[in-house]
Structure 1
Amino acid sequence: MKKPITRSLQLAAVRKDAAALTAVEAGSGQRVYTFRASDGDFDRYSDRLSVKGWRVDAYNANGVVLFNHDDGAQAASTGAEPALPIGKGRVYVEGDALMIDIVFDDEDDFARKVERKVAKGILNAVSVRYLMLPGQYRQNERGGFDCDTQELLEVSIVTIPGNARALRAKSLDGEGDDIVERIAQRVVELLAERGDDVPTDDEDTKPDAGEQPPANESKPEPGEPSSDDAPAEDDEDKTKPKNFDAPEAAKQFVEAFKQHIRGV
C-alpha cells in the first residue's frame, strides 16, 4: 500500500502557488485578501491535484498563514526564535480552483510588512502544503503525481511562485477607483447636457417670425385672461433639471457604484 506523501517546504518540487486577486473590506472592517491557491492543471513540478479532492475541514479549523512555509521547525534546531503565523486563512472551492481569503495579523510588525507588499503588488503569490493520502495518488506521464484526494496542511505567502499561472489578476482596487471617478464624471456631464437640451416653455409656444396664429383660434371673452397670462399646465412635469449640482451627483454616483461592485 502506498504511503502518504507530505508536500512541504523541504520538498520544493511539490509546492503549488497562485496570484492574489483582490483585497476587499470585510464586514468587520478587516482587510481580506483573496488568492487563487491551486487548480487542477500541471504545475512546474508535473503534479496535478484534483480541485474537488481537497480536504479542508482541518485547515479551516486552524487556518494558519505562514511566510515561505516557515513553520519554525528549522529555528527549533538552531535555537533561533521560531517564526509565527502572519495571518489567518479560510479556504473554499470555487469553480475550477481552490481559493483562500487571508486576513493579516495587524498587531504583528512583520505581518504588517508582508501585507503592505501584498497590497502594493510586490508579493503576489501563495503556496499550499498538502498531504497526499494513501491510495489516492499515482505517477503520471510527466514523472509527477496525479492526486485524487489531498489534505491541506498550510498556506503561505511566498516570494518565488512555483506555478506558471501565478499571475495577479486585475481588480477594482486602487486603479479602479480612478476609473469609477471618470465614469461618474462622464455620466454627470451627459445628464447636464441632456438637461440643457430640454426646450423651455417659450421655445415650445413661441411662433416663428412671420408666422400667423391659427385663423380659427378663438379670442378670449371680455374679462377672461389671455392665453399668455393663463397658468401653464403640467408645470410640475417639466423634465429640465433645476439647480443641478454636478459635483454632488458625481459623488453620489461614485459611492453607489462602489457599494454595488463590492456587493454591499
Structure 2
Amino acid sequence: MPTAPVTTVKALGFLREKAAGDTSGPPVFRLSNGVLDRHRDRVRPASISVEEYNANNVLLWNHDDCQPAIGTARVYRDGEEWLMEPSFDLIGDLSKEVAAKVTAGTLKSCSFKFVIDGYEPNAEGGLDYTAVRVVEVSITNVPANQESLRLKNNTPPTPAPEDTTPPPPPPSKALEQADLDAVSALLDEKLAPIVAALQALTDEETTEMEEPAPPAPPPPSEAELAAKSFTAVLQGRK
C-alpha cells in the first residue's frame, strides 16, 4: 500500500483561461478540484485547510523559499474547486518577470505545498488526501493536474448604465360620439341653473332700459317770469 510523506508539493493549479480580449483584473488560478493527478493522487476539496497559510500568505516562484516572495495570494473555495488569486508586488526583477509572463500567458500553472494530516489509498493505486494544511503557494512551469488551468481574469461585472429615458405616455383613447353626447348632456344639466339666473338678470336690465322717461316740465310763461321779477325787486328793497 502506498504511503505518504509528512509534507508534499502538488502542482495542481493552472491559470484560468481569460475571456477573449479581456486584459483587465487580476488572474485567477484553479488550485485544486479533487480530480486524480498524474501521480494517481487526489486532494479532496473538503480536506484542504488554508487557515495556516492565510497567516503568512506569501506567493513564491516554483517553491523556491530561498528567494524572496514575489507577492501574496488569496486562496478560497468555490464549490468543488479551490482558487488562487495572486497579487504580484512588482518589487525586484523576479516578481516583475513572473507577473509579466502570467499576463502574457506564458506561465499558466500554480501549485501548493501542504502538510498531510490524513490520507487513504484509492482504487487507482495512489492516495486520496483526507486532511491537508496548505503552507505555501507558487507559480510554476509545469503542473501535475492536467485539468488545472488558469480560469479567467477576476474582473467584477460592469454594472449596466442606468436608463434615464422617461417612460412613454400612456396611450390616449379617442372618445366615441356616444361618449361626447353623454358629456354634453351632463354639462347642460349642471349649467342649466346658472344659465337661467343669467337670463333673468339680463331680462330685468332690458326692462329697466325700455321704461319711458318722465315728460319735461313746460317752460314758464311771460306772466310767471314778470311775477318772479317783481317779487325779486320787492325783496331787494326790504
Alpha-carbon distance in structure 1 between the residues aligned to 2:39 and 2:4: 20
Cα gap change, 1:65/1:21 in structure 2, threshold over 3 Å: closer, same or farther? Answer: farther
What SS does the corresponding residue of 1:166 show, helix, strand or coil? coil
Are residue 15 (structure 1) and residue 11 (structure 2) matched?
yes
Q: Which gives a bigger RCO, structure 1 or 2 (Cα 8 Å, sep 6+)?
A: 2
Cα gap change, 1:121/1:100 in structure 2, threshold over 3 Å: closer, same or farther? Answer: same
Per the alignment, residue 129 of structure 2 pairs with 147
TM-score normalised by the chain length of structure 1? 0.53
Matches within 5 A, 1:186-197: none
Contact 1:21–1:36 (Cα < 8 Å) also in 2 = no
What SS does the corresponding residue of 1:110 show, helix, strand or coil? helix
Per the alignment, residue 125 of structure 1 pairs with 109
Following superposition, the deviation at residue 49 of structure 1 comes to: 1.0
CA RMSD of superposed structures (Å) = 3.9
Q: What amino acid does structure 2 have at the position aligned with 1:147?
A: Y
Q: What amino acid does structure 2 have at the position aligned with 1:17?
A: G
Per the alignment, residue 71 of structure 1 pairs with 65
Alpha-carbon distance in structure 2 between the residues aligned to 1:3 and 1:47: 10
Q: Deviations over 1:47-94 (max 9, x none)?
A: 11111121111101101111111112xxxxxxxxxx111111121111
Are residue 62 (structure 1) and residue 69 (structure 2) matched?
no
Alpha-carbon distance in structure 1 between the residues aligned to 2:135 and 2:52: 8
Cα gap change, 1:95/1:145 in structure 2, threshold over 3 Å: closer, same or farther? Answer: same
What SS does the corresponding residue of 1:169 show, helix, strand or coil? strand
Per the alignment, residue 252 of structure 1 pairs with none
Q: 2:34 aligns with which of 35, 40, 52?
A: 40
TM-score normalised by the chain length of structure 2? 0.58
Q: Which runs of 5+ in 2 are unaligned?
A: 20-24, 159-238
Per the alignment, residue 115 of structure 1 pairs with 99
Q: Which runs of 5+ in 1 are unaligned?
A: 9-13, 24-30, 73-82, 178-264
What SS does the corresponding residue of 1:115 show, helix, strand or coil? helix
**Larger Rg over CA atoms:** 2
Following superposition, the deviation at residue 15 of structure 1 comes to: 3.2
Alpha-carbon distance in structure 2 between the residues aligned to 1:15 and 1:170: 19
Query: How many residue pairs were aligned?
Result: 183
Alpha-carbon distance in structure 2 between the residues aligned to 1:108 and 1:129: 24
Q: What amino acid does structure 2 have at the position aligned with 1:70?
A: D
Q: Deviations over 1:151-193 (max 9, x none)?
A: 10111000112211123335587xxx9xxxxxxxxxxxxxxxx
Contact 1:56–1:152 (Cα < 8 Å) also in 2 = yes
Alpha-carbon distance in structure 2 between the residues aligned to 1:46 and 1:169: 23
Alpha-carbon distance in structure 1 between the residues aligned to 2:154 and 2:56: 30
Per the alignment, residue 5 of structure 1 pairs with 6
What SS does the corresponding residue of 1:88 show, helix, strand or coil? strand
Structure 1's consecutive aligned runs of 4 or more residues displaced over 6 angstroms after TM superposition are none
Contact 1:52–1:93 (Cα < 8 Å) also in 2 = no
Cα gap change, 1:171/1:66 in structure 2, threshold over 3 Å: closer, same or farther? Answer: closer
Following superposition, the deviation at residue 102 of structure 1 comes to: 1.2
Contact 2:33–2:82 (Cα < 8 Å) also in 1 = yes
Following superposition, the deviation at residue 150 of structure 1 comes to: 0.5
Per the alignment, residue 106 of structure 1 pairs with 90
Contact 2:15–2:30 (Cα < 8 Å) also in 1 = yes
What SS does the corresponding residue of 1:160 show, helix, strand or coil? coil
